[in-house]
Structure 1
Amino acid sequence: MNDQDVNTEAWYCSDESIKGGFDKEFGVNITWDIPLLNGYSYQFFKNNSWKPSVSNGFFGLINLGLLKQLFNEPKAVIIVHGWNYFTHFMVLMLGTLKGHTICLRNDMPLSHEHYKKGWKQKIKKIGLKYFLFPRVDKFLYIGSQNKIFYKSYDIEDNRLVSCPYAVDNDRFKAQYKVIKPNISSIRRDLGIPQNDKIIIFSGKYIEKKRPLDLLQAFKNLNNSNCWLIMVGEGELRTSMEHFIEKHQLKQVILTGFVNQSKIAEYYAIGDLFVMCSSLGENWGLSVNEAMNFNTPLLLSNLTGCSEDLVIQGVNGYTFKTKDVNELKEKMEEILIKNSLTLHITSQEIVDDYSFLSITDNLKKLL
């Protein structure tokens, strides 16, 4: 954003992810191997919570210094990512009192809301509609499902701004350009014949991601010319290993955690990227990553980005979440029957989901 002449500063409520450490869902210690603080101004604010952590719910982030800075700061466009912490909620509630333009960027898809029932959901809807949303100037929607989520609360079109979820497309495309001449050697090192097809899964081995659905579908596919590489780590690894051993699946590779600088090698050799997630997968940014390598897609219909990033029969398909038979059939359509037209590629589609698109749209708010 700063490179595009949008003077930007980041305010951080925690340094947990910057420092790295034990990730509960991956189940391993993680330190990111790409720079996260280069090229822009930022501030870290003391967390005054009695149980300080992004993992400890609403009161896990209480940053009184940030709230004080809110009232000392000259008028600005302030973008708040969600309302699930005390600090974020209070910035949304109080920001307009100082004359700031308050923008909310939340990733909730309407399709997931239909599955949420009970009194807590009713209270949330009342709180958002009558207390929180009236205090927000602009709603930055990440995709079509997120947009209609806001529309379901009667948010007017002039308060809605497209701010798509994106990854660093330029970095991934540059990596692909370097790796492409070496794809044969990467396959050879993994023991995969040059003409065999490779399915890529990238994500945590957790229930939300439903990795066992993919293993079941791959078993049912039963094709000796297809491989499945599951990039990730997590609590379901033991169950996955038992399944692989029980069914003697020789052509499945569980990589373990792969950091950002190395993950491009797996995307580059893939013939199909699969995400079979259920509730809680509000978008699925690893889909964006894979698309920079021109990989066809097969996404569950509850993956939040499925309506935006898949053109049915062109660059991929969607399937009904948890439907292992349909997942297997669509894998067969893409890998064996070559049914995709590919007249619009994944790479061409993801070009519209970029940092530049975000910045261009935010400039209109200044």
Structure 2
Amino acid sequence: MANSKKRFIFLLSHPIQYFSPFFQLMAKDPDLDLLVLYCSDENVKGHIDKGFGVDVKWDIPLLEGYNYKFLKNNSWKPSIFNGFLGLINFEIFRTLKNERGSYLVIHGWAYATNFLTVIAGKLLGLKLCLRSENPLNQELLKSRTNLFLRKIFFRYLWFRLFDYFFYIGSQNKKLYEYYGVKKEKLVFTPYAVDNDRFRAEYETYKNKKPELRKELVLPADKKIILYAGKYIPKKRPMDLLQAFELLNNDKAALVFLGDGELRMDMEDYISKLNLKNVYLTGFKNQSEIGKYFASADIFVLPSGTGETWGLVVNEAMNFGLPVIVSDLAGCSEDLVIEGLNGFKFQCGNVESIKTKLEYFIEDQVQFKIFSEESRKIINRYSYYTILERIKSI
């Protein structure tokens, strides 16, 4: 290599709002040399997000402050939404040909390009690092036949190709161990959001809850229960809506921050049962969401299978919110310390969600303790921790 810096190359399907701030931080480190390779530029231009069901263009900088390159996509049906064959970037071989000894970080195995990149990395002498989000608890829900075939593929083929495995949390680590990855290859790189940005917003808004609620047209005198994310089946927003109906407490209001395909079903349910104090905000961009977190009192993530982590919980905890999280969400084992900053519940158990909500609505003293603990816990799940751990390999 031309210099003494440790060189990292990240391969991602497209620019992601949660990753770009980390790359900006990493690029400032004097000991590191960074290049990010993107297989698609769809979301930079703006695109119809299939989950939100609206045109999305993120309003935070995705491509500033670090070196990146967009690879030509040779797919005949090019799109990050078109499955495995939606990304086929043969340019990866030419791009990596002079990168012997560099660390190559590949995110998952969802696209053909991921496999092409592993082949290129092996042939060209790069050190391969795998980062995936898959939690073991969801992996074990697959059929016995599926698990048998995956064990052959992961344990004896795919995972043997990598030098390091960047695990995002406890369940993800357990998945690697389940498929035989050795301890010395595991590197803790926690799933994180831009804590600095959210903490700054928290400090700005923490004493302005009445003003924020007025601005957002939310009730000033209610305990606000917040959901944030897409209205899609895997997020299970209907579970929370049903729990709120069972709660039947006029001290509470429920805010669904987001949008998506289940919106009509949710609106029908609200209308048929004549539910009061329920608010569906529609899609809000990154610069807007902090006000909703700062206006809320409790955060709930009812997601099921497919919620490999739930970064929205990280965001909520930066605002000091107590959290109620489904046991199938990948983050639940790490971010929710039972009875300290929140509660877990069995996915789909509406009655359990209601019971947990009652606890927070009626107990003010515990609410403050839970709030403080949320902010303490999330400190470890930061970009700085990731940077420290990958520099140590």
TM-score range, shorter chain: over 0.9
Moved over 6 A (4+): none
- Rounded to whole Å, the distance in 2 between the matches of 1:362 and 1:62 is 28
Task: Identify the match of residue 4 of structure 1 among 26, 29, 44.
Answer: 29
CA drift at 1:192: 4.1
Q: Which runs of 5+ in 1 are unaligned?
A: none
1:72 matches 2:91: no
1:174-222 deviations in whole A, cap 9, x for unaligned? 1122222432112223454434211110010000000010000001111
Task: Identify the match of residue 378 of structure 2 among 310, 326, 350.
Answer: 350
The secondary structure found in structure 1 opposite 2:380 is coil
- Rounded to whole Å, the distance in 1 between the matches of 2:93 and 2:209 is 50
Task: Report if aligned partners of 1:109, 1:146 keep a CA contact under 8 Å in 2.
Answer: yes
Task: Report if aligned partners of 1:67, 1:87 keep a CA contact under 8 Å in 2.
Answer: no
Task: Identify the match of residue 317 of structure 2 among 287, 291, 298.
Answer: 291
Task: Identify the match of residue 205 of structure 2 among 176, 179, 186.
Answer: 179
- Rounded to whole Å, the distance in 2 between the matches of 1:7 and 1:249 is 55
- Rounded to whole Å, the distance in 2 between the matches of 1:285 and 1:193 is 26
CA drift at 1:121: 4.2
Task: Identify the match of residue 206 of structure 1 among 232, 247, 256.
Answer: 232
**Aligned residue number for residue 390 of structure 2:** 362
Bigger shift: 89-98 or 256-265?
A: 89-98
**Aligned residue number for residue 9 of structure 2:** none
Task: Report if aligned partners of 2:140, 2:147 keep a CA contact under 8 Å in 1.
Answer: no
- Rounded to whole Å, the distance in 1 between the matches of 2:185 and 2:118 is 15
For residues 68 and 190 of structure 1, do their structure 2 counterparts lie closer, same or farther at Cα, with a shift above 3 Å needed?
closer
CA drift at 1:134: 0.8
Task: Report if aligned partners of 1:198, 1:271 keep a CA contact under 8 Å in 2.
Answer: yes
Task: Identify the match of residue 134 of structure 2 among 108, 112, 115.
Answer: 108
- Rounded to whole Å, the distance in 1 between the matches of 2:190 and 2:74 is 32
1:17 matches 2:68: no
Task: Report if aligned partners of 1:316, 1:334 keep a CA contact under 8 Å in 2.
Answer: no
CA drift at 1:329: 0.4
Normalising by structure 2, we get a TM-score of 0.90
- Rounded to whole Å, the distance in 2 between the matches of 1:124 and 1:334 is 42
Q: Which runs of 5+ in 2 are unaligned?
A: 1-25
The secondary structure found in structure 2 opposite 1:345 is helix
**Aligned residue number for residue 154 of structure 2:** 128
For residues 94 and 128 of structure 1, do their structure 2 counterparts lie closer, same or farther at Cα, with a shift above 3 Å needed?
farther
Task: Report if aligned partners of 1:92, 1:132 keep a CA contact under 8 Å in 2.
Answer: no
CA drift at 1:343: 8.4
Instruction: Tell me how many residue pairs correspond in the alignment.
Output: 365
Normalising by structure 1, we get a TM-score of 0.96
The secondary structure found in structure 1 opposite 2:76 is coil
The secondary structure found in structure 1 opposite 2:249 is coil
1:223 matches 2:280: no
Task: Report if aligned partners of 2:59, 2:286 keep a CA contact under 8 Å in 1.
Answer: yes
**Aligned residue number for residue 39 of structure 1:** 65
The secondary structure found in structure 2 opposite 1:91 is helix
- Rounded to whole Å, the distance in 1 between the matches of 2:348 and 2:321 is 22
1:141-160 deviations in whole A, cap 9, x for unaligned? 00000000000011111000
Q: Which amino acid in structure 2 is aligned with residue 298 of structure 1?
A: I
Task: Report if aligned partners of 2:231, 2:260 keep a CA contact under 8 Å in 1.
Answer: yes
CA drift at 1:95: 1.4
1:81-100 correspondence runs (5 A):
81-100=107-126
Task: Report if aligned partners of 1:299, 1:317 keep a CA contact under 8 Å in 2.
Answer: yes
Bigger shift: 117-126 or 35-44?
A: 117-126
For residues 257 and 343 of structure 1, do their structure 2 counterparts lie closer, same or farther at Cα, with a shift above 3 Å needed?
closer
The secondary structure found in structure 1 opposite 2:128 is strand
The secondary structure found in structure 1 opposite 2:292 is helix
Task: Report if aligned partners of 2:130, 2:162 keep a CA contact under 8 Å in 1.
Answer: yes
CA RMSD of aligned residues (A): 1.5
Task: Identify the match of residue 304 of structure 1 among 330, 335, 355.
Answer: 330
